[in-house]
Structure 1
Amino acid sequence: MLVLGAGAWGTAMAIHLARRTQPGLVGLWARSTQQAKGLSEDRENQRYLPGHAFPAGLTICSDLAVALKDWRQQVAHQGRGLLVLASPISGLADLCASVYGVLGPAQPGEGLVWLCKGLVLQAEGDRALSWPSDLVSRGCPGWVAGALSGPSFAQEVAKGLPVALTLASQDLTWARQAAQDLHGQGMRVYASDDLVGVQVGGAIKNVLAIAAGVADTMALGANARAALITRGLAEAARLGQAMGANPETFLGLATLGDLVLTATGDLSRNRRVGMGLAAGKTLDQVLAELGHVAEGVATAPAIAALGERLKVELPITQAVCRLLAGQTTARQAMAELLTRDPTDEVRP
């Protein structure tokens, strides 16, 4: 197996995979020679995941072409293998293009798994919206691929603490096989063929976590946090239903599970964005202090645009968008949500 991207989540996944396989069968690719050199010498990722030592069998590399060709040879010998794409959604298209530029069409036994969550809103043209699956299918045409999603903090995965995730693909048979390849050493992986629902849930939960961070910093209480999570889940389900997703997906790991974790956990980047904004900091200040990508910031306007296109009401998402754009304050955004007209909880 080969993990492409040495951020926190990619590093944690590489550590997990190296623990459950024979030495030398898992590689971690870093974008720069300097980063790869530091990872090799320190045997940990001091920038993105400090304090988590690499297993002895984890190989570090910076030459993408060499890493991909070695991986292909390994797959030919082993019979099957996975490429794990661990870039943020903003870099996924370029990464896929690079992979396809080296490997071309997939060979038997080869597959892709991506770890990012979000929705890309193109600034030009017809303001096209792209899910990770769209970027992968365009960048690596013909490759079988899937999304790994669910409640997971990189630090806990690196520690080997228990975690349960969903691997979704349009090819359920392949998803089941790939889930087995990732399963073990504290990680439980469930297969799904609802790629739409898993992607919707994984994207919108980051936006909702920003709102939860605002509520917590404003000391609105546990009741308000629970209300935000529950009504946020309703937004995810409404959007997913409009896109043809399986309703049960939104009660599973990729939506409800991930939303609860991201909206309440102190390690959540998106929650910390909301906390910073509610404390009076600018978005630029918050992101500079964070030092990591918070996918919900770029995803919020894309989800809002999709809701408008599908005529789906997303009040929490829209409030977060206005807050991120500087069009309202945290206090005003919460006041707007609390003063909305009453309506039925369950709608036909």
Structure 2
Amino acid sequence: MTDYETRRLENIKRNQALINELGIEKVKQETSTKRPAPKKRKLSPSSTRPTRVSARIASTDRPIYNDEPSITHGTTKSVKRGGTKRVQSVTADAVETKAQSPPPDLEDIRTGWTSWESVASPPTRDDDGTFHFEGHPTFLPNKSPVEMLAEGAFGGSYYRPLYSKSLRTTIEDDWKELPAEWLKDLNVERYLTSPDYDPEINKFRVKCGQSIEEWEAAGWIAHAYDVRGWFQWYTRFWQGRRCDDDDRQIGRWERCVGERGRWRRMLLKKYLQAGVKEVADEGVDEEEVSPVMHQTCHQWAWEVRQPSLDEAWAGQL
């Protein structure tokens, strides 16, 4: 070995002998402790569920159209994370707690559905088919309730027997309050009370929207006024009823198909993308423009008419 290696080995032996003499190695072994491995964090069942759904999956079979996410009415809450505002659904426990709350006064609620009186005059209709309601200049549908029913809106199942979890009762036969003249040419069993949603009777032959049960769970139903939601409100508003829920329902309509409504704008953009400049009286070819968006707007009492399309092409969208 080289002199360096010889000296190195001697130093190692000397140091080891010193350590043994002082008992340092023994103390180190006695005082050292092994740190326990960190416990694995147990995930709750809810944390393993996906919190986001792709647009493709969300639009499959039954696209959601009913309302703006900001309309929560106690069933969702906004959470701001990283500068982005998103809506969180309530937990199953919260829904269960709500279900266990005392039932409302059903008799009073039922009386309210039928005891109202007409206090407003019928709407007027202009040349392009838009309806105008006195005192409500921004509410401008162009489909009447009877036109919507005759064209199969809601798959013919809007007035089917409905079990309300909030009221804990089944609602049925309320279609009978509709004016007789609206019903004279309708097959009630097919166009109003069908137990199943039938897209074939819809004007654009597609299925869209959520069920009334889902509307109720989302908080979009004001039971004291209209247990079936938007369209039932529209039929009564059309007949002259006015109530405290009018502003909310008109606001929902505006956000969906009003002048700046998201579904209206999306549909008109589809026309522009497809290069379609004229609207036929019976609608357009489903191959050209989205039938789902058409049916969605139809169920909010609005269809594309030529003036709206002309404005879109003129760059006023």
Report the TM-score, using the length of structure 1 for normalisation: 0.27
Structure with the higher strand share, 1 or 2? 1
Choose between structure 1 and 2: higher helix proportion: 1
Scaled by the length of structure 2, the TM-score of the pair is: 0.29
Larger Rg: 2
